[in-house]
Structure 1
């Protein structure tokens, strides 16, 4: 028997819930809906969804307040879907623990792609997979080896630390702050420019065309993601 992944849709607008529900149902996902923060927390507890799609503009509570609660109370993968498009809002949501952020209006094909990436990440995490492939680049997290087209690449410790942090969450946006806390755990506040330099040198080593990166994607003003599609 095929197990259908369950997705919780949280939005106070019924027409948006219907749009998302229809797209997910066509893709053979099971769906659950909630129109308020209170209902969302209840469905989170009773339905145990694999993925939760959270709108921030809920009538009874700001959606940002739910992000840490969701991460504390479940292992659901949390994707924000919101009309709030300010960089600060996105960074805040991701730093609080959201796994991805999609801005309204959105294309349902993009939504389904984000869902597929999220499910692959869950399988990687739950299965204990320690190697990630992005294009012709292989990242062996267990043995700390990086290869491009089968050729082992030399990375500095800091370069590897940045790449490994992205590889642990393939397809997910990792904010500048999250990466810097990992790479410079004792002093990360003033290293944004260093981070940009490291990413630039990584692209020069790993990308076929560093000016048009296909492996390490940039989320302007927010962070980076490892593209594994």
Structure 2
């Protein structure tokens, strides 16, 4: 799990909030949940993104969002609301960065969060804890926490792993991985990437024959779950 980005989630519907919070937690995010916008200013220096409903008790979401934008111009705001009218969308997008209507698919929300964090350069990925591994991306160091030993990767192996980690939960094709790591187009039938991933798994997986960190998605590519 990544040392999480911190999300401020303002939603007064407890049933909806419980579902969204759990999904965010399961995907490596730290979440502060508020049922209204009255106390939100106390958290603005601590969070990386705000998810905001419009229909809130007291101060409506538009008012709360404008106050947030007035305090923090570089803090991404995502409206998550049942208000589907084009007038509401246009009003929200005057100062917010994205607008998603209910009902929604959890994967779409996660993707939009990921896009906003990357756009605002707020992705927290310095140290990751994944299964039995501690991964320091700044120091290019991987520690097996069960043995205390450092896992030594080649340059290409580390770049492949790093690319998969930075796109965790997304299926990446061979073409995407190869072009990112080798900086040249993938040629169909080339086994170079397959060989590198096999050796990478031998170093990081407990059981390379049954990998739990780097998944093979048959017919599509590879994925690391966080």
Determine which of 11, 19, 40 is the counterpart of 1:27: 19
Q: What TM-score do the two structures reach when normalised by structure 2?
A: 0.51
SS where residue 180 of structure 1 aligns? helix
From 194, 197, 218, give the equivalent of 1:196. 194
CA deviation after TM superposition for structure 1 residue 39, in Å: 9.0
Aligned residue number for residue 45 of structure 1:
93
TM-score by length of 1: 0.51
- The 1:48–1:177 alpha-carbon spacing in structure 2 relative to 1, beyond 3 Å, is same
Q: Cα RMSD (Å) of the superposition?
A: 4.2
1:140, 1:146 within 8 Å by CA — same for their partners in 2?
yes
Output the CA distance in 1 between the equivalents of 2:124 and 2:150.
23
Task: Please state how far the C-alpha of 1:148 moved relative to its aligned partner.
Answer: 1.8
Give yes or no for contact 2:172–2:223 (8 Å, CA) kept in 1: yes
**Which residues of structure 2 form unaligned runs of 5+?**
1-6, 22-52, 54-79
2:156 counterpart SS class: helix
Superposed CA deviations along residues 162-215 of structure 1, whole A, max 9, x for unmatched, are 001112233333332221111111343346522122112111111111222111
Distance in structure 1 (CA, Å) of the matches to 2:218 and 2:102: 22
Q: Give the number of the structure whose residues are more often helix, by fraction.
A: 1
CA contact (8 A) 1:134 1:226 kept: no
Aligned length: 154
- SS of the aligned residue for 1:27 comes to helix
Q: Secondary structure at the match of 2:207?
A: coil
Do the aligned residues in 2 keep the contact of 1:139 with 1:167 (CA within 8 Å)?
A: no
Q: Quote the offset at 1:159 in angstroms.
A: 1.1
If you compute each CA radius of gyration, which structure gives the higher value, 1 or 2? Answer: 2
1:124-163 equivalences in 2 (<5 Å): 126=122, 128-149=124-145, 150-163=148-161
Are the equivalent residues in 2 in contact too, given 1:174–1:223 (CA < 8 A)? yes
Give, in whole Å, the separation in 1 of the partners of 2:179 and 2:83. Answer: 35
User: For residues 83-108 of structure 1, what are the alpha-carbon distances to aligned partners after superposition, in whole Å with 9 as ceiling and x for unaligned?
Assistant: xxxxxxxxxxxxxxxxxxxxxxxxxx
Aligned counterparts of 1:24 and 1:211: Cα–Cα separation in 2: 40
Q: Does 2:180 match 1:173?
A: no
Cα pair 2:81 2:101 within 8 Å, conserved: no
- Structure 1 distance, partners of 2:101, 2:209, is 33
Unaligned runs of 5+ in 1: 7-20, 56-78, 82-110
Q: Are 1:4 and 2:13 an aligned pair? A: no
User: Is this contact kept in 1: 2:171–2:223, CA < 8 A?
Assistant: yes
Indicate if the aligned counterparts of 2:205 and 2:213 stay in contact, CA closer than 8 A.
yes
- The alpha-carbon distance between structure 1 residues 209 and 143, as it changes in their structure 2 partners (threshold 3 A), is same
